[in-house]
Amino acid sequence: MAGIGFHTDAFNSSNYSFDQCLDWAKQHQMEFIECGTIDGAAYIQALGYYPHLSLYEDPILWRRKMEKQGIRLSQVDAAYPLSRTDGLTIGVRYVQNAIRWADQAGCPCVDTTDDKHKPEGMSDREGLQLLKQAYGEIVKVAEAHKVIVNCEPHGYFTTKPEFMAEILSFYESPYIRLNMDTGNTFIAGQDPVAFVQQFKNRISHVHIKDVSESLAKAARGELTGIAMSQCAIGDGVNAENIRSCVGILLTNGYNGVFSLECEGSVLEKSLEWFRGLLAER
Identify residue 260 by its one-letter amino acid code: L
pLDDT of residue 237: 98
By DSSP bridging, strand 257-260 and strand 176-181 are: unpaired
Beta bridge partners of 38: 54
CA distance 249 to 2: 10
pLDDT at 1 over 90: no
> Is 3-280 a CATH 1.20.59.10 domain?
no
Locate the domains of the chain by residue range. Answer: 3-280
Residues 6 or more apart in contact with residue 199 via CB below 8 angstroms: 161, 164, 165, 168, 178, 180
Read off the pLDDT of residues 21-75 as tens digits, 9 standing for 90 and up.
999 999 999 999 999 999 999 999 999 999 999 999 999 999 999 999 999 999 9
pLDDT at 130 over 90: yes
pLDDT of residue 223: 97
Query: What is the band of 281 on the pLDDT scale with cuts at 50, 70, 90?
Result: confident
Identify residue 228 by its one-letter amino acid code: M
Read off the pLDDT of residues 163-196 as tens digits, 9 standing for 90 and up.
999 999 999 999 999 999 999 999 999 999 999 9
Q: Average pLDDT, stretch 256-275?
A: 98
